[in-house]
Chain A
């Protein structure tokens, strides 16, 4: 954008509401995943455990305390973000339309280094992944509730396929979120100029 004096000013990309909920969510996910790994280690579903040094809580009671404190932050912040996204039209503007074939085309272009990145506009692969990870967090919360309250919420637990199946759903929802984070954080720190706007809200002024 060029103002009357001819100087360039940075363009707003991410609304303040999205930036705040993004970083609160980042902290909540960090707490939930690392404390969840420690809880998993108390009774592993599969033939492996997470390295204790990469978990949160120190022991099972500590990890549970973190997990059941963090869940409120994750759920309340997530609900605020979803309400904002729907009411403000943010989701409609930024995420739609979603197309799997175009997402694959964009991944191919990106792998060849030919995908143009327009600040503030998500490509088809981003749209698919962002909507996908929102759904994964929702599934993680619902399956977590099913594990936490298999009696009081036994209808929900039944939808998940019962208590033991809900544990598997919860695990794979976590795995999907972590897989997303590997790609998301990897790109956020390697693609130039995308991390700063998530704090400042504005693209860097063109030089």
Chain B
């Protein structure tokens, strides 16, 4: 998360730019574009990049087809060991007592009664073998099994016309997704997965979005119309991040 080291090359770039552009009486202002690029300064370039990211949210929502399914794979194609990824080291994963665990519900939900793991396991279960694609570029095929998120949202009386479903997690991570993606037939509230360390006891598995939109160690789900943001989204990653 450090700033670009491009400043060290600025004299050479400046010379190159002068040779290529200024000689012709043109200036593209390329140097100012190079410096303001970290999405952390409130300058014109960052505002433009943020505006484009919001535009890309809208374009991705328009491109999203609720009936289009993510490709599925065979057991033999599952990645072992499944790569661990979080904003902290693997040794710092939260340890959650499955006996006392309760999933909390809040926001635009009719029945906000908390859920134990055995109650969640008593619901109809579905499983999938899909590819998890990380925003970093790598991908891994894994297997997830749990409650269809659409069934769960209907069962708890969530307002399905609301804009957002948000997640708060035991590792202080948080994220949110759009309602159409939450209702996609492959979106799972996963209870069993390739490696239980990675989100036990409850995580979201949503193959229509990048990996960081699949929060782990979920302890609260809420439904809202106000934009909830997310851990990485608030730092500048694209919110929709659909696959």
For chain B, the count of residues having a C-beta within 8 Å of the partner chain is: 49
Asked if A81 is at the interface of the complex by the 8 Å CB criterion, the answer is: no
With A65-B238, A163-B131, A199-B26 as contacts: A58 and B37 at CB distance below 8 Å: yes
Residues in A neighbouring B235, C-beta threshold 8 A: 61
Residues in A neighbouring B236, C-beta threshold 8 A: 61-62, 65
Interface residues of B in 132-188 (CB under 8 A from A): 133-139
Binary CB contact string for chain A from 54 to 97 against chain B (1 if under 8 A, 0 otherwise): 11111111101110110010000000000000000000000000
Partner of A59, one of B2, B50, B243: B2
Residues in B neighbouring A189, C-beta threshold 8 A: 19-20
Asked if A200 is at the interface of the complex by the 8 Å CB criterion, the answer is: yes
Q: Are A167 and B137 closer than 8 Å at their CB atoms?
A: yes
Interface residues of B in 8-22 (CB under 8 A from A): 8-9, 19-20
Q: How far is the CB of B168 from chain A (nearest CB, A)?
A: 22
Within the assembled complex, what's the spacing in Å between the Cα atoms of A30 and B131? Answer: 31
With A52-B4, A150-B133, A152-B65 as contacts: A57 and B70 at CB distance below 8 Å: no
Within the assembled complex, what's the spacing in Å between the Cα atoms of A69 and B53? Answer: 7
Q: Are A150 and B131 closer than 8 Å at their CB atoms?
A: yes
Q: How far is the CB of A200 from chain B (nearest CB, A)?
A: 7
Partner of A54, one of B1, B9, B208: B9
Interface residues of A in 26-48 (CB under 8 A from B): 27, 30, 39-40, 42-43, 45
Q: How far is the CB of A178 from chain B (nearest CB, A)?
A: 16
Q: Are A151 and B243 closer than 8 Å at their CB atoms?
A: yes
Q: Are A60 and B136 closer than 8 Å at their CB atoms?
A: yes
Q: Are B64 and A53 closer than 8 Å at their CB atoms?
A: no
With A150-B133, A152-B65, A199-B24 as contacts: A58 and B3 at CB distance below 8 Å: yes
Within the assembled complex, what's the spacing in Å between the Cα atoms of A27 and B28? Answer: 9
Residues in A neighbouring B48, C-beta threshold 8 A: 69
Q: Are A59 and B207 closer than 8 Å at their CB atoms?
A: no
Asked if B196 is at the interface of the complex by the 8 Å CB criterion, the answer is: no
Residues in A neighbouring B242, C-beta threshold 8 A: 149, 151-152
Asked if A179 is at the interface of the complex by the 8 Å CB criterion, the answer is: no
With A53-B9, A56-B34, A58-B38 as contacts: A40 and B19 at CB distance below 8 Å: no
Binary CB contact string for chain B from 197 to 218 against chain A (1 if under 8 A, 0 otherwise): 0000000000110000000000
Within the assembled complex, what's the spacing in Å between the Cα atoms of A189 and B20? Answer: 8
Asked if A159 is at the interface of the complex by the 8 Å CB criterion, the answer is: no
Can you spell out 12 A-B residue pairs with CB atoms less than 8 angstroms apart?
A: A52-B4, A52-B5, A53-B8, A54-B6, A56-B6, A57-B38, A59-B38, A62-B39, A64-B135, A68-B52, A152-B63, A152-B64
Q: Give me the 4 closest cross-chain CB pairs, A-B, nearest first.
A: A58-B38, A69-B52, A61-B236, A53-B5
A-binding residues in B (CB < 8 A): 1-6, 8-9, 19-20, 24, 26, 28, 30, 34, 37-40, 48-50, 52-53, 56, 63-65, 68-71, 131, 133-139, 207-208, 232, 235-238, 242-243
B-binding residues in A (CB < 8 A): 23, 27, 30, 39-40, 42-43, 45, 52-62, 64-66, 68-69, 72, 147, 149-152, 154, 158, 163-164, 167, 189, 195-196, 199-200
